[in-house]
Amino acid sequence: MKVLDALRHGVAELHRELTRYELVIWTAGNVSARVPGEDLMVIKPSGVSYDELSPENMVVTDLHGNLVHGELAPSSDTAAHAYVYRHMPEVGGVVHTHSTYATAWAARGEPIPCVLTMIADEFGGDIPVGPFALIGDDSIGRGIVETLRGSRSPAVLMRNHGPFTVGKDARAAVKAAVMLEDVARTVHIAQQLGKPDPIDPEHVDRLYARYQNVYGQ
C-alpha cells in the first residue's frame, strides 16, 4: 500500500525535526499521522530512540490504539492520539512533546497570551491550557479535544504535563510544535522584563485570516 509506505517514511522522518529543534529528550515525544480514508494511524514505537527510528519500525494501529502492523508496541501516548483522530475528523497529524518552555507554561497552568503577531498567525489567539489528566484511559485525549474545540489554536498545553499539537497532516502538527516552543520561550523572556502588550482582538483576527489563507506558496 503506497500511501501507508509514504506515511511510515514521513512520520519516521518528521521525528528528526523534534530532535533538530530540541523539543525532546530521551524517547519522550511522538508524531503520528492519520491514514487517509482508513480508520488507521501511523505512530512512533514505544521506547525506541530517535536515532533508531526508520520507516520499517513505525507502528500502525487502528483508531482505538490496537496494533495492526508492526513488530513493536506503539507509543504509550497512542490512546491520546487515537482519541483525537476519532473525535476531530479534520485532524491528520498529532504531535506530543515535553518541550521545555511550553511545558513550563503547562506547569503553571497559564495560557500563553497572544502578544506576538506569530501567535496570532499560527494560533489565532491565546494558546490554551487543557485539564490535568492521568495516562491510562481516554482522559488525556478528551482533555485535548475539549480544549481545542473551544479555540482556533492547534496547540494545547496539558496542565502539569506538556503540549499536544494537531494539524491537517503530521507536518503541520510538527510545525505547530516548533512554533509553540519558540513563542513560549519568547513570551517567557518578555515577561521577565515586564508585562507584554496584548494584541487587539480585531488585529488578531486579521492576522490569523491572512496567514491561514494567503501566506505561503
Active site residues: 121, 215
Distance CA 90, CA 88 (A): 5
Cα–Cα distance list, 93 to 32, 33, 111, 118 (Å): 6, 4, 23, 21
Distance CA 64, CA 84 (A): 10
Residue type, 8: R
Distance CA 37, CA 113 (A): 36
- The dihedral through the CA atoms of 50, 55, 56, 59 has a sign that is positive
Which grid cell sits at 28?
A: 519522550
